[in-house]
């Protein structure tokens, strides 16, 4: 079967089960878009307002579904506009294939119009990158790219195709794609050593990361927690991997984690890290992190073992398979005194906020109540992100999508669109601060163009809230370039971009606004006005031990 490179690309996408791509056309990629036009009944294309929005949408689609997300852009600035989204996916281990087209082969390396070495640009932020200069290898390259993106520790892969390859023809042979097996790289002796360490522990704690979601290991994690009778904390990326309403759950760990999690991990005698990488936002001072504990790390990526924290034992492999084998080696443990102590900490140090005024914690609790905890929540980055993590109960995986590693302002709206496309039966809500919303609010036009029923909640305090919080606490209240008060009217902007807009200024207006937005089944922006000096607590100062966690009450006692 003789096909052009563009037709081969489309056929390979169909082979991989791709039903949606997100992108923006241009000169170098026109042949590919022409082929997509001819297959529009098989692969849906979502035209975003900006290429960065396409990358974030592919990311959100991947996180919400577990499939590989696909985005496309033309050469030069189109390709470079994908970079932030690719880096976001790389830092959070999101399976993505980014497809770009470049100038023709004779023009490569000559500073041609809209020429950029995008494979070189993205080399540090992709699992692998390809430049395809021969149509004969195109199909195999695409298949390899998808395999790399989804296998092991997932991540983004770039395929850059010269324009002449998209037009050239060659023989195409269809293939049936085989999913890879879950692999492990540890010995029976290493497995039994870990089981023995667990059996000897008196005060075990489970520290849960995003790997538990990626490997679909939620059931195995729940069984493990019951077997070893331990409390469970999670990272931002691990939200939903363990039932947030469980009595064992103690909340997030780290810089804005709960006092219970931070103090409990500091007291435990065994810390079991499941699909977590000991990031600086979790550990604080690494020399004093869990210093009373022996540490076990289970991770698919051998490079993460002993990278940030020295561990006493490790098992390298897919977490679902590893936990299945480990659980089979364990007998039921009981630690009543330890669990009672953790319960006391939870009762002594609950999350709390000033409930007199409209606030983001209250808004998140109302969203939780109205949606019965069944929504997919995406976020941007900052105070609202932490409040969304703290005050909504995530009981299922793939329901909290946020930029954890890169901390990308402007991520959430595109991701919410991608999540809604991937999970059309779910209520999808993006939580953004006013600073983040300014970054990519043009993607509301994408939502209105396709009538994608996302709900964009803007937490508007008219400042860059998280940066201002640091300026308040550590920079003598010198608010350098963090005040956003101007003449921008977000409701008018949203309406101008084709969406319904609702402004909320009182607590009693929150629930009706959410209910109305859900009922409309159309894109809605809800702007919520909150005080400029609301702060996220608890908090651990950067570089301090997590045992030094403090909250608003602690600050009042010190002043």
Catalytic residues: 51, 113-114, 163, 466
Q: What is the distance in angstroms between the CA of the first residue and the CA of the last residue of the chain? A: 77
Residue 223 burial (C-beta neighbours within 10 Å; 0-12, 13-18, 19+) = middle
- Cα–chain-centroid distance for residue 461? 24
Burial 422-452 (b: 16+ CB within 10 A, else e): bbeebbbbbbbbbbbbbbbbebbbbbbeeeb
Instruction: Please count the other Cβ atoms lying within 10 Å of the Cβ belonging to residue 186.
Output: 18
Distance CA 465, CA 459 (A): 10
**Cβ within 8 Å of residue 125, ≥6 positions away:** 83, 86, 87, 90, 156
**Cβ within 8 Å of residue 335, ≥6 positions away:** 201, 202, 203, 204, 229, 230
Q: Which of 120, 172, 128 is CA-nearest to residue 147?
A: 128
Distance CA 58, CA 443 (A): 13
Q: Which of 17, 94, 279, 311 is CA-nearest to residue 193?
A: 311
Tokens 């990278």: give the residue: 307
- Helix (H, G, I), strand (E, B), or coil: what is residue 54? helix
Q: Which of 78, 346, 309, 302 is CA-nearest to residue 190?
A: 302
């Amino acid at each position: 079967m003789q096909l052009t490179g563009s037709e081969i690309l489309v056929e390979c996408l169909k082979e991989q089960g791709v039903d949606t791509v997100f992108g923006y056309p241009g000169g170098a990629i026109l042949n590919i878009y022409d082929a997509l036009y001819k297959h529009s009944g098989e692969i849906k294309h979502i035209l975003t307002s900006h290429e960065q929005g396409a990358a974030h949408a592919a990311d959100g689609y991947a996180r919400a579904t577990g499939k590989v997300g696909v985005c496309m852009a033309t050469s030069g600035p189109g390709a470079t506009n994908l970079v932030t989204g690719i880096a976001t996916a790389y830092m959070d281990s999101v399976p993505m294939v980014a497809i770009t087209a470049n100038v023709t082969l004779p023009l490569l390396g000559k500073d041609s119009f809209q020429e950029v070495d995008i494979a070189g640009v993205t080399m540090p932020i992709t699992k692998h990158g390809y430049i395809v200069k021969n149509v004969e290898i195109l199909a195999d390259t695409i298949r390899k790219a998808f395999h790399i993106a989804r296998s092991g520790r997932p991540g983004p892969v770039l395929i850059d195709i010269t324009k002449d390859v998209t037009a050239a023809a060659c023989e195409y042979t269809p293939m049936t794609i085989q999913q890879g097996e879950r692999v492990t790289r540890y010995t029976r002796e290493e497995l039994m050593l870990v089981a023995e360490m667990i059996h000897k522990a008196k005060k075990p704690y489970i520290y849960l990361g995003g790997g538990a979601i990626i490997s679909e290991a939620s059931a195995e994690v729940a069984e493990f927690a019951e077997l070893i009778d331990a409390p469970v904390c999670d990272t931002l990326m691990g939200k939903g991997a363990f039932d947030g309403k469980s009595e064992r759950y103690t909340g997030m760990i780290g810089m804005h984690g709960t006092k219970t999690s931070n103090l409990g991990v500091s007291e435990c005698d065994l810390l079991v890290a499941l699909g977590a990488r000991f990031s600086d936002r979790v550990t604080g001072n690494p020399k004093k992190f869990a210093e009373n504990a022996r540490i076990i790390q289970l991770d698919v990526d051998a490079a993460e073992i002993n990278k940030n924290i020295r561990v006493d034992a490790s098992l390298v492999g897919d977490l679902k398979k590893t936990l299945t084998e480990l659980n089979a080696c364990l007998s039921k443990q009981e630690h009543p005194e330890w669990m009672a102590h953790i319960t006391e900490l939870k009762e002594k140090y609950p999350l709390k906020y000033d409930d007199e005024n409209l606030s983001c914690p209250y808004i998140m609790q109302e969203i939780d109540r109205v949606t019965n905890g069944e929504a997919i929540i995406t976020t941007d980055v900052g105070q609202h992100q932490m409040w969304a993590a703290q005050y909504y109960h995530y009981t299922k995986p793939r329901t909290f999508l946020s930029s954890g590693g890169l901390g990308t302002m402007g991520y959430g709206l595109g991701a919410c669109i991608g999540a809604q496309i991937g999970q059309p039966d779910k209520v999808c809500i993006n939580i953004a601060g006013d600073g983040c919303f300014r970054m990519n609010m043009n993607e509301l036009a994408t939502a209105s163009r396709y009538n994608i029923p996302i709900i964009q909640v803007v937490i508007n305090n008219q400042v860059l809230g998280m940066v201002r919080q640091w300026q308040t606490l550590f920079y003598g209240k010198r608010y350098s370039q963090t005040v956003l008060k101007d003449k921008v009217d977000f409701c008018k902007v949203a309406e101008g971009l084709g969406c319904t807009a609702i402004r909320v200024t009182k607590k009693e207006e929150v629930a009706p606004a959410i209910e109305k937005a859900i009922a409309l089944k159309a894109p809605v922006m809800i702007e919520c006005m909150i005080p400029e000096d609301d702060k996220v607590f608890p908090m651990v100062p950067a570089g301090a031990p997590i045992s030094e966690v403090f909250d608003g009450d602690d600050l009042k006692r010190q002043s």
